[in-house]
Amino acid sequence: MENEKHLMRGVLAGIVGGLVASWVMNKFIAGPGVKLQHAVQSCEENNREEPQAREQKQSGEPKIDATMKTADAIVNTATGGRHLSLEEKQKAGPVVHYAFGALMGGLYGGLAEYSTFARSGFGTTFGGILFTGADLVAVPALHLSGAPTDSPVGSYAAPFAAHLLYGATTELVRRAIRFIL
């Protein structure tokens, strides 16, 4: 028997799902996602490799990602001008990632209570929309990364797959929690 619709229980289940899914997403990016990215890059390099891409691979500089830039911007705004060191950014970036994952999971959980569309594709539709809205639109619009056209299309394979996995994991955990609640 399906549980009665309940917004707050759905949001709570979604938050838990989003946290678990953020962890799974990180594990994917660090493991299978790396292999996927290398496979896609190998195909692209066989076709052509632009000099700029070669320079970026060889620079050896630590990569400051969007979550680290967001953490720095939050601290800068809250403190009136303080910036995080590289070490602090590396610690705060995952906090931003999990907080965003929980927030988006909560949104998903609330929507999933009342919308079959939100749950379509076992959460992968939501994951795809999240990838598009966050990675391809919001992050570049907030100047946390370059424009999507600055990178080869193949560079989005692993992040896109990770977001689909995020959506499916969020749905799986949300369903389990809602079964209990």
Each residue's pLDDT tens digit, 4-45 = 999 999 999 999 999 999 999 999 999 987 888 888 777 767
Write out the DSSP string of 64-92. --HHHHHHHHHHHHHHTS----HHHHHHH
The reported pLDDT for the residue numbered 12 is 98
Residue from 4, 21, 9 nearest 105 by CA: 21
CB 170 within 8 A of CB 102: no
DSSP state, 134?
A: I
Each residue's pLDDT tens digit, 47-66 = 654 544 444 445 567 889 99
* Total-model pTM: 0.87
Each residue's pLDDT tens digit, 74-105 = 999 999 999 999 999 999 999 999 999 999 99
Q: Domain coordinates of the chain in residue numbers?
A: 7-45+61-180
